[in-house]
Amino acid sequence: MNKILKKTRLAENVTEYVISAPDAARHAHPGQFVILRVDEEGERVPFTICDYDSQAGTITILVQEVGYSTLKLARVPEGGYIADFVGPLGNPTDLSEFQNVLLVGGGIGTAVIYPQAKALKAKGRPSDVIIGARNASLLMYEKEFASAAKELRFITDDGSSGVKGFVTDELKRMAAEKKYDCVFAVGPLPMMRAVCALTKELGIKTVVSMNSIMVDGTGMCGCCRLTVGGVTKYACVDGPEFDGHLIDWDEAINRGKTYREQEAAHKCRLTGEVK
């Protein structure tokens, strides 16, 4: 059982959880993820770590309430417990060989690039950051990035904050102004695909964090498999980060839809909504 120490509403349907997990916190690195199970009947769901404090023994994750398990988690109060919490899983991000990194976060993926921004700043090589969201109310971690990034830009689909447009528009502008040796992008699959299509054209190496469907998260089922450079890889043990220019995006997006119907039914069961 792991205690939820703090719950903070960051945006509509998005909540930040600070969870007590001393062992995981002690060994966590940027880019890694955890798997949790809300209760005894729950499913195992992966979340990327968006902050950790080894002293306090805590791991912070950001949860967007989109389905059965995330809605169920939202009902656990601050000070309450979740049944299972395991991590850190996956390989840490490796941005060590790059001098000028541009971090791109879309939607909830924004939280995932925060540990990288912090780590790069600590190494004396602060990164530029683009944060994109559908609208102003969905922007998050503005303060945190303001202190961690060298240059920070916001962009929203509807122009309600920052510039109007998509992260790729901003990326194009920034790449025209400065030379980057690596773009690190995290967000919904279509956004990462669009970023990769653009950076391939621009000839900038791009690393993405894949959010495949997972069960165990330790490399024993192959549920999270994807094709990278023509070879089958497991996101949980070979990734979750990969060279974005080598990913079979159509396949990854298709696999992400495997349980769409069942998930909708599960959610309805919880909310009483009728499909």
**Binding region for another protein (CB under 8 A):** 23-24, 27, 37, 41-44, 68-69, 83-89, 215-216, 218-223, 225-227, 232, 234, 237, 248, 251, 254-255, 257-259, 262-263, 266
We find the least distance from the C-beta atom of residue 248 to another protein, in angstroms, to be 8
Residue 6 is inside which H or E element, if any?
strand 2-11
d(CA 176, CA 226): 32
We find the least distance from the C-beta atom of residue 109 to another protein, in angstroms, to be 23
d(CA 21, CA 19): 6
We find the least distance from the C-beta atom of residue 230 to another protein, in angstroms, to be 10
CB 63 within 8 A of CB 70: yes
Q: What is the largest CA-CA distance in the chain?
A: 53
Instruction: Compare residues 71 and 197 and give the one whose CB is closer to another protein.
Output: 71
Instruction: Compare residues 82 and 175 and give the one whose CB is closer to another protein.
Output: 82
Residue 91 is inside which H or E element, if any?
none
Instruction: Compare residues 231 and 274 and give the one whose CB is closer to another protein.
Output: 231
Interhelix angle for 167-177 vs 189-202, to 10°? 30
We find the least distance from the C-beta atom of residue 247 to another protein, in angstroms, to be 12
We find the least distance from the C-beta atom of residue 113 to another protein, in angstroms, to be 22
Residue 79 is inside which H or E element, if any?
none
Instruction: Compare residues 157 and 248 and give the one whose CB is closer to another protein.
Output: 248
Instruction: Compare residues 237 and 246 and give the one whose CB is closer to another protein.
Output: 237
Task: Report residue 171 as tokens.
Answer: 């990326």
Residue 142 is inside which H or E element, if any?
helix 142-148
d(CA 221, CA 51): 28
Instruction: Compare residues 159 and 190 and give the one whose CB is closer to another protein.
Output: 190
Name the residue with tokens 């062992």: 23
We find the least distance from the C-beta atom of residue 73 to another protein, in angstroms, to be 12
The residues that bridge with 208 in the sheet, in sequence order, are 185, 242
The alpha-carbon radius of gyration of the chain (Å, integer) is 18
Apex CA 35: angle with CA 167 and CA 209, to 5°?
Answer: 25
We find the least distance from the C-beta atom of residue 52 to another protein, in angstroms, to be 13
Burial per residue of 166-189, b for 16 or more beta-carbon CB atoms within 10 angstroms, e otherwise? bbbebbeebbeeeebebbbbbbeb
We find the least distance from the C-beta atom of residue 186 to another protein, in angstroms, to be 21
Instruction: Compare residues 69 and 110 and give the one whose CB is closer to another protein.
Output: 69
Instruction: Compare residues 42 and 165 and give the one whose CB is closer to another protein.
Output: 42
